[in-house]
Amino acid sequence: MPTLSQILFPVDFSEQTRALAPHVACMAARYRARVTMLHVIEIPASVDPGWPDYGGLIDYAAIAEARKQQLHSFLRSEFETVSTTRVTMEGDPGRMIAEFAEKEKADLIMMPTHGYGPFRRFLLGSVTAKVLHDAHCPVWTSAHMSEPSKPPTGYHNALCAVDLTSKSLPLMQWAAQFARERGATLKLVHAIPAATPPTSLDVDGDRFRASLFEMANAALANLQSEAGTKLETVVAAGEVATVIGEAAEENHADLVIIGRGVMQETFGRMRTHVYSIIRETPCPVISV
């Protein structure tokens, strides 16, 4: 259930990180949460732990000190009214972020998907991908678009992507409570890849696809009964990421909630489907 008292905000001083500051501050204000702004200083692979002087060519100690000073002043005005702790660490950013979140019991990690640019539309940043794979707490990622995220206006229309197993129950309950707390409408969305119709006439196939929809709607009704929810559902034929992305656009969703573990087990490898959902969804995604 959403209890967001500790928000982890990894920063790398980029324009993308700066663009997320209003979203993080807004979430923190809503839940009266403490924000930990974490900057991980990436150590080159050829440098041993302890950062020796590398033959005197590079002063790593000076770099580390400069980064600490930079973090101290970064986004000061944006977080003036938010309880904020600033931490620097050294190591692999993806691994350190996930480990720090686990150790400090973060309730939510908020980070961008990567930098902007037309070619970056096809992949996630390596740090974000590693955090999505390793973190145990929910991860909020910005819309994977070629332009900076728009300032937050609150969440009004949310979607929760589910499969048809009992493992979707905690996700549905988490999403329902989050939506209630934010005063947002919430719909469930489910994709049926096998129900995609062929280009040629296929009468028996039409009957089969109709049965898939009937079974899906019946299973969703049972899940909602167990979860204690009465949400509108969107069931569509097609690949998972495409269905979710199109549903988000058609329903003017400003947030999509997915389950990383659930999606991994039902729809294949987590890297394939969770990453593609984030890439194709035109709004922020919380993966639980």
The answer to whether 158 and 175 have CB atoms below 8 angstroms apart is: yes
Class in CATH terms, 157-287: alpha beta
The CA distance from 233 to 139, in Å, is: 24
If one compares 138 and 57, the residue with the highest pLDDT of the two is: 138
Tokens encoding 153: 């206006």
Cα separation, 241 vs 244, in Å, equals 5
Q: How wide is the angle at C-alpha 105 spanned by C-alphas 40 and 87, nearest 5°? A: 30
Ranges 8-12, 44-48, 128-132, 200-204, most confident? 8-12
- Which sequence spans correspond to the domains of the chain? 6-141, 157-287
Nearest CA among 143, 24, 136 for reference residue 74: 24
pLDDT band at 267 (very low <50, low <70, confident <90, very high): very low
| CB neighbour list of residue 57: distance below 8 Å, 6 or more residues apart | none
* pLDDT class of 271 with cuts at 50, 70, 90: very low
In SS3 terms, the chain reads as: CCCCCEEEEECCCCHHHHHHHHHHHHHHHHHCCEEEEEEEECCCCCCCCCCCCHHHCCCHHHHHHHHHHHHHHCCCCCCCCCCEEEEEEECCHHHHHHHHHHHCCCCEEEECCCCCCHHHHHCCCHHHHHHHHHCCCCEEECCCCCCCCCCCCCCCEEEEECCCCCCHHHHHHHHHHHHHHHCCEEEEEEEEHHHCCCCCCCHHHHHHHHHHHHHHHHHHHHHHHHHCCCCEEEEEECCHHHHHHHHHHHCCCCEEEECHHHHHHHHCCHHHHHHHHHHHCCCCEEEC
Cβ neighbours of residue 212 closer than 8 Å, sequence gap 6 or more: 192, 194, 195
pLDDT at 213 over 60: yes
pTM over 0.85: yes
Q: Does residue 262 have a pLDDT over 70?
A: no
Q: Which of 281, 249, 251, 250 is nearest to 263 (CA)?
A: 281
- Residue owning tokens 């977080």: 79
pLDDT at residue 224 in the model: 97
Q: Same topology for domains 6-141 and 157-287, yes or no?
A: yes
Average pLDDT over residues 65-94: 95
Domain 6-141 has CATH 3.40.50.620: yes
pLDDT over 70 (residue 51): no
Burial of 228 (0-12, 13-18, 19+ CB in 10 A): exposed
Phi and psi of 86, rounded to 5°? Answer: -115, 125
Q: Which of 69-78, 146-155, 226-235 has the lowest mean pLDDT?
A: 146-155
- Cα gap 249→236, rounded to integer Å: 14
Exposed/middle/buried for residue 48 (C-beta within 10 Å: 0-12, 13-18, 19+): exposed
